[in-house]
Structure 1
Amino acid sequence: MVEGPDGRTPTWKFAQCFGDKGDTEDITEADIISTVEFDHTGNYLATGDKGGRVVLFERNENKKGCEYKFYTEFQSHEAEFDYLKSLEIEEKINKIKWCKRTNAAHFLISTNDKTIKLWKIYEKSLKVVAENNLSDTVSGRPAHPLSLANLRLPRMTLHDTIIAAAPKRIYANAHAYHIHSISINSDDETFISSDDLRINLWNLGISDQSFNIVDIKPANMEELTEVITAAEFHPISCNYLMYSSSKGFIKLADMREHALCDAHAKLFEEEEDLRERSFFSEIISSISDVKFSSDGRYIVARDYLTVKIWDIAMERRPIRTINIHEHLRPRLCDTYDNDSIFDKFEVVLSGDGKSVMTGSYNNNFMVYPNATDADAEEVEVMLQADKTAFKAKRVGVAAPIGRSAGRNGNGMGMRGLSPSGRGIMGGMNSARRDTDDTDFNKKILHMSWHPHEDSIAIAATNNLFVFSTL
């Protein structure tokens, strides 16, 4: 781990970039990355895009540090049309989750708005006939067709080895609304899928049957006041799951108590200050993403303006609230007019459960070391995943949030590279959180943290950036 100037906080460096296009004007909608996910070992990395493609990367063991190489690519979903509802179903990949590896093959599940698929990725040997009864002939006829001495068994030889992807299960027709979350249980046998109003429980081996375990749909849809925004299984206890609401609270449910988990075991909700209530209060309090720490002790939730970190043993208030877009609070009218206020930013925790990462505009993203330690100093590292941002070869360092350097931030920029994946060092830029300079079209929504080391993968439009402290 590379230590920063304070001797404790790691210094993040740009490691790699995949993607050969940089200008947003030249990017097609299908090329935009819509999800990023490390596997449980960190040796493989998956991305899904709006064109329904899944691209896998493999750790390059021949290189020092954190570097990946292209592994395989396949078309996971195709655009469909629901004739009963006259509704077009996009091929966009909403989520990818890796199954724990038990043999030489890899398994992962991917979903678009309606259909979940279980994929098997494996090495497939291509063989060709190297010798048979016609090998020694010119005319195409064997010289002595009736002679047993001249008969030969066909012999196959290895021609090539390819990486193949095959759909093993298709889980469909269980959601009336768009699927936004999937999560594999710690028992490695079941998983959940969630849409705006329902959460379904599946068995990985059974594709034609699911169980509805959460249903918040009212009898009269005119009485609908909230929707489910994210859902995830507890990483250790297979009976617990949590889901977040557009009203800004998180419910922890225990599947042992009831078949239908509408009654929560715990409720994590911070009381709103009525003096600060405004027209936008309900919108900005909607939680866009929620995650457990790897040990299940902490919950981190992201809304439009903040990241809240909860101790699972304390429901009254979060142990820490990190302001992300405080500079945009005076401009909520503008973000409402251009629909940016509805952006769904993800949040992730490091493998050790101590640090938190989330995204922002101008292709900025922030890392908060030791964020789950309520007594630790609140430190921010702001970096930038943008090919046009760097000039000098420097690195991003941490600064306390209270100081101007920490709040305005220094960013790290980098230029896009071809899929060969050769890395270059990023550079610093001023990347200040100036509301007048905010580019709402450049935003970091999707990211993933390596499960065992300080390496992160960032999706910036159609580019995949890798940062590391190694």
Structure 2
Amino acid sequence: MRVPVLHKQLGPSHRRGEVEKRTVSVGSPGRVARTLDCAACLLSGASDAVIIAPCAADTEAPSPPAPPRSISDWLWRRQCGCGAPNASLLTRLPAPEKMKCFSRYLPYLFRPPSTILSSTCHTEADIISTVEFNSTGELLATGDKGGRVVVFQREQESKTQPHRRGEYNVYSTFQSHEPEFDYLKSLEIEEKINKIKWLPQQNAAYFLLSTNDKTVKLWKISERDKRPEGYNLKDEDGRIRDPSTITSLRVPVLQPMDLMVEATARRIFSNAHTYHINSISVNSDLQTFISTDDLRVNLWNLEITDRSFNIVDIKPANMEELTEVITSAEFHPQQCHTFAYSSSKGSIRLCDMRLAALCDKHCKYFEEPEDPATRSFFSEIISSISDVKFSHNGRYLMTRDYLTVKVWDLQMENKPVETYQVHDYLRGKLCSLYENDCIFDKFECVWNGSDSVIMTGSYNNFFRMFDRNTKRDVTLEASRENSKPRAILKPRKVAAVNSLLT
């Protein structure tokens, strides 16, 4: 399912090296508001960060500028520096004079009108790139282009009232990936989260896998509402005591504290993919998972980080002979030895790891024969599969291409048993979509809990739901507007621990 962009992009994005502050907007869980400290931008000479600049004719301390009349006026000043005459003067001043001029406007810079305080300014880093529910639906994890993972927890009222609209509050927020640079290949590795997968819950803690283009990380999310006190060799701050000062033996005790949610990186799986990772899938044995890039599928053990097994490799000896790439892969929900992967040519291969260590030969091959009457220049492009999902009972396989969602029976390889048109109105506009590259957009799909309804994304914040029994389809819109009165989020202390514990 393609996630609609829930965060409005505001002009040129600032680089992550600048001073910044991130908060969660009250009454709008998950909308991360980014507030930039423009002092660093001004001192570095960044002209696009000028909000209000002094007039060139002012030799004495100028009078304070009039407050913006509207949010759009304030945003225009923030991006263009056109709130006062000769705004470019500030960028040509020496650093001491620049700081002097800036200090005159400092009180007004950080005291915008009340109408502005209610707005949120977002950048490209705040765009959501993936979402994933856990198996119970209690937790929802979102990843964005800035490498952050935000976990939401369902409200208790929503749990006790099944027919009530689901409401989620922020449960934990942590930085999963940082931007990196491969100096050997001269390649910049983005921090964007490509996929998130939950592991089945085994104890009080939650575990999830997150990946960017090159690295997969295993995260542990746990709660802590008690802290140990009364150590003999350490004081309250954790410093080692002088043994000569210890006159009695104390028994450490646990004292109650405010609830704290900790996110800890337990494993890091890296250096195994030459190409960008497009999907990950957890095995039903709860011990292994696969990570997939354009040409290979690797099998990992959750306890071993320095070694993986290559189980699919479609890279030809001569790259000029390459005809297709892998687009997605997933394990069977019940058979731990079976997995499927899709390709850009619209085919799905079902593989059995019991047959060989390298699954270069598939056990089943699913592909719909093409109608020669409808073949066109765009046929191969729109037939590329962007997502593949097994049904919960393991009998069906669902695939998503550019225009349709198809359901396959694992016992019938020659054609799908169900085909649903998602946005057939675009079929006559493929030429325009090709020119602006929209024809290469990728969409995801998902089953409901009983496998009776399937859902997938579309354009303009719309997503489609198809009932397999009644053949009824519903189009819904994801909107920022909330008809329910906004409620203040409950305070919660959140700790993100990025240390690697092995």
TM range, normalised to the smaller chain?
A: 0.7 to 0.9
In the alignment, structure 1 residue 226 sits paired with structure 2 residue 313? no
- SS of the residue corresponding to residue 405 of structure 2 reads strand
Residue 208 (structure 2) aligned to one of 108, 117, 120: 108
Bigger CA radius of gyration? 2
Residue 242 (structure 1) aligned to one of 320, 340, 363: 340
- SS of the residue corresponding to residue 62 of structure 1 reads helix
Contact 1:19 1:419 (8 Å CA) reproduced: no
Deviation at 1:378, TM superposition (A): 2.2
Match of 1:39 in 2: 134
Cα offsets for 1:195-243 (capped at 9, x unmatched)? 0000000111111110000000000001111000000000000111000
Q: Which amino acid aligns with 1:32?
A: I
- SS of the residue corresponding to residue 315 of structure 2 reads coil
Residue 167 (structure 2) aligned to one of 56, 67, 86: 67
Cα offsets for 1:39-84 (capped at 9, x unmatched)? 1122111111111111111121134332222111111100000001
Deviation at 1:356, TM superposition (A): 0.7
Residue 98 (structure 1) aligned to one of 194, 198, 209: 198
Q: What CA distance in whole angstroms lies between the structure 1 residues aligned with 2:484 and 2:258?
A: 35
Contact 1:48 1:96 (8 Å CA) reproduced: yes
- CA separation of 1:104/1:223 partners in 2, compared to 1, >3 Å: closer, same or farther? same
Contact 2:154 2:167 (8 Å CA) reproduced: yes
Contact 1:386 1:414 (8 Å CA) reproduced: no
Unmatched segments (≥5 aa) in structure 1 = 1-15, 136-144, 371-375, 389-412, 422-470
In the alignment, structure 1 residue 48 sits paired with structure 2 residue 59? no
Contact 2:289 2:301 (8 Å CA) reproduced: yes
Q: Which amino acid aligns with 2:450?
A: D
- CA separation of 1:270/1:160 partners in 2, compared to 1, >3 Å: closer, same or farther? same
Deviation at 1:94, TM superposition (A): 0.6
- Runs of 4+ residues deviating >6 angstroms: 21-25, 145-148, 413-419
- SS of the residue corresponding to residue 207 of structure 1 reads coil
Instruction: Identify the structure with the greater strand proportion.
Output: 1
Cα offsets for 1:297-324 (capped at 9, x unmatched)? 1111000011111111111111111111
Q: Report sequence identity in percent.
A: 58
- SS of the residue corresponding to residue 252 of structure 1 reads strand
Match of 2:112 in 1: none
Q: What CA distance in whole angstroms lies between the structure 2 residues aligned with 1:129 and 1:292?
A: 49
Contact 1:46 1:57 (8 Å CA) reproduced: yes
In the alignment, structure 1 residue 271 sits paired with structure 2 residue 369? yes
Unmatched segments (≥5 aa) in structure 2 = 1-26, 34-71, 73-118, 236-243, 491-502
In the alignment, structure 1 residue 18 sits paired with structure 2 residue 29? yes
- CA separation of 1:158/1:226 partners in 2, compared to 1, >3 Å: closer, same or farther? same
Cα offsets for 1:413-440 (capped at 9, x unmatched)? 979978849xxxxxxxxxxxxxxxxxxx
Q: What CA distance in whole angstroms lies between the structure 2 residues aligned with 1:92 and 1:111?
A: 8
Match of 1:379 in 2: 472
In the alignment, structure 1 residue 336 sits paired with structure 2 residue 347? no
**1:186-205 alignment runs, 5 A limit:** 186-205=284-303
Cα offsets for 1:312-337 (capped at 9, x unmatched)? 11111111111112101111111111
Cα offsets for 1:356-408 (capped at 9, x unmatched)? 100111111010012xxxxx4421100001236xxxxxxxxxxxxxxxxxxxx
Q: What CA distance in whole angstroms lies between the structure 2 residues aligned with 1:147 and 1:121?
A: 37
In the alignment, structure 1 residue 325 sits paired with structure 2 residue 416? no
- SS of the residue corresponding to residue 206 of structure 1 reads coil
Match of 2:59 in 1: none
In the alignment, structure 1 residue 255 sits paired with structure 2 residue 266? no
Q: What CA distance in whole angstroms lies between the structure 2 residues aligned with 1:61 and 1:25?
A: 28
Contact 1:239 1:255 (8 Å CA) reproduced: yes
Q: What CA distance in whole angstroms lies between the structure 2 residues aligned with 1:264 and 1:147?
A: 69
**1:31-430 alignment runs, 5 A limit:** 31-63=126-158, 64=161, 65=164, 66-125=166-225, 127=227, 153=250, 157-370=255-468, 376-387=469-480, 420=489
Q: Which amino acid aligns with 1:92?
A: K
Contact 2:29 2:168 (8 Å CA) reproduced: no
Contact 2:30 2:170 (8 Å CA) reproduced: no
Contact 2:399 2:406 (8 Å CA) reproduced: yes
Deviation at 1:274, TM superposition (A): 1.3
Stretch moving more, 334-343 or 152-161:
152-161
Tell me: higher relative CO, structure 1 or 2? Use CA pairs within 8 A at least 6 residues apart: 1
Q: Which amino acid aligns with 2:315?
A: K
- CA separation of 1:154/1:386 partners in 2, compared to 1, >3 Å: closer, same or farther? same
**RMSD across aligned positions (CA):** 2.9
